[in-house]
Structure 1
Amino acid sequence: MKIKIMLLLGITFLAFASYTSVNESSQNQVKFYKGSYDDFLREAKKLKKPIMLDFWASWCGPCKKLESETFTNPNLATYLNSNFMVYKVDIDTFDGMAIADRFAVDAYPTLVLLDSKNKFVNRYKGFFPADYLKNELERNQNQKGKRFVTPKSTTAML
C-alpha cells in the first residue's frame, strides 16, 4: 500500500514539475499571434498595442538565427509579450507576399513596427541581438506612426 501511495505521489510530483517547466519555457519565448493577419490587426487595435511584424522565410539563415537566439531571450520575450502584438509573416505564402509588398519588404528578416492604429513607425532589416533589439523597440514603442507610402521604383517601365 505504501509503495502505491509513494508511486502516485512521485508521478504527481513529476507531472507538476513538467507543467511548471513547460510554462516557464513558454514565457521565455515571444508569443506570436496565431490566426489571420486581418484578425491580428483587429486584435491589436482593440488592445491598443503597437505591432511588430516579423517577415521571414524557411530558407533564410538569419531568420532562423533571429528565431532561435533573439526571440528566445527571456528579457526580450517578456518585454515584447507585455508591450506589443507580434505576428510572423511567412513570405513564402501568397498572403505573406502581399503583406511584404504592402510594406516594400525586400530583405529577410525584416521587422516592421506599426503603432496601434496600423501606421508605420520603423523597420529593422537583418539579424539583431536581443538586447539591441529591445533597446530599439523601447525607443520606438510610443512613437506615432505615419501612413506608409511604398517607395516608387527608380527604373522606368518598358
Structure 2
Amino acid sequence: MKNILYIITLIFLIPVSSIAQEINWVTLEEAVKLQKKHPKKIMMDAYTNWCGPCKMLDKNTFKNKDVVAYVNKHYYAVKFNAEGNETINFKDRTFKNPSYDPAKENRRNSPHEMSRYFGIRSYPTILFLDEKGDLLAPIIGYRTPQQLELYLKLFKNDDHVNFKTQNDFSAYADDFKPEFSN
C-alpha cells in the first residue's frame, strides 16, 4: 500500500511539461486529406533506416518540446522512408519503389519514386509543402531545433514569398532571433 501511495504522489509531482510529447506524424495521404478540411502546410521528413543524421534529427530535434509544439500546431508532419516500400497516392499518381530489396531493409536500398518526384538526393531532407501540396523547398541535412525553427517560421508565415534573391534569405536568417530551446 505504501508503494502505491508513493507512486501516486510522484505522478502528481511530475510537471506536465516534463512528460514527453511527440510530433503527430501522419501519412502523406492523411495530410492531404486533412488539408482539405483545415489548410496547413506540410513538413515531410525524408529519411532512411541506415542514415545516422536522420536518427540524430529524430532524437535531438523532433523530440524537442518547442519543435513538437510548433509543428503540431502549425503543420501536418509526415515521415517518409525515402528508400522504403510503401505505396503512396499523391496528386492523382501512385508512387512505389519497384526496385526495393527487402534484404537491404536497413542498408542502402533503391530510392522510392516519391524521392525522385521531389528530387531528394541526400538524407535527411525536410520538405516543406504548401496548403495545396506543392513543394516550397527542400532543406537538406541535419538541423538543430533552433536551425529548424528558422524554416518552420519562415514557411508558416509565408515570409519566403518576398525573397527575390539569395541575399534576401541571408538577411532574413541574419536577423532571425530563435526562441526554441536547444
TM score, norm. by length of structure 1 = 0.73
- Secondary structure of the structure 2 residue equivalent to 1:94: coil
Match of 1:13 among 9, 14, 22: 9
Name the structure 2 match of 1:111: 126
Q: How many residues align?
A: 136
Q: Which has the higher helix share?
A: 1
Residue 39 of structure 2 is matched in structure 1 by 48
CA distance in 2, matches of 1:37, 1:140: 18
Q: Which amino acid aligns with 1:110?
A: T
Query: Corresponding residue for 2:62?
Result: 71
Work out which of the residue numbers 155, 168, 182 in structure 2 matches 1:140.
155
Alignment counterpart, residue 61 of structure 1, candidates 10, 29, 52: 52
Quick one: structure 1 residues 8 and 66, their matched pair in 2 at CA, closer, same or farther if it must change by over 3 Å? closer
Corresponding residue SS for 1:111: strand
User: What's the counterpart of residue 101 of structure 1?
Assistant: 116
Which of the pair has more CA radius of gyration? 1
CA distance in 2, matches of 1:136, 1:48: 18
Q: Secondary structure at the match of 1:134?
A: helix
Contact 1:57 1:90 in 2 (8 A): yes
Specify whether residues 18 and 25 from structure 1 end up closer, same or farther in structure 2 by C-alpha distance, changes over 3 A only.
farther
Q: 1:19 to 1:38 in 2, by over 3 A?
A: farther
Look up the match of 1:154: none
Q: Between the two proteins, what is the percent identity of the paired residues?
A: 24
Given that 1:121 and 1:144 are in contact with CA atoms closer than 8 Å, whether structure 2 keeps it comes out as no
Instruction: Decide whether aligned partners of structure 1 residues 23 and 48 sit closer, same or farther in structure 2, where only a CA change above 3 A counts.
Output: farther
Match of 1:88 in 2: 79
Whether the aligned pair in 1 keeps the contact of 2:48 and 2:83 (CA below 8 Å) is: yes
Q: What amino acid sits opposite 2:25 in the alignment?
A: F
Runs of 4 or more, structure 1, over 4 Å off, are 17-23
CA RMSD of aligned residues (A): 2.7
Structure 2 residue runs without a partner (length 5+): 87-95, 97-111, 161-182
Structure 1: distance between partners of 2:113 and 2:48: 14
Letter in 2 for 1:129: T
User: In the alignment, what sits opposite 1:125?
Assistant: 140
- Asked if 1 retains the 8 angstrom alpha-carbon contact of 2:40 and 2:130, the reply is yes
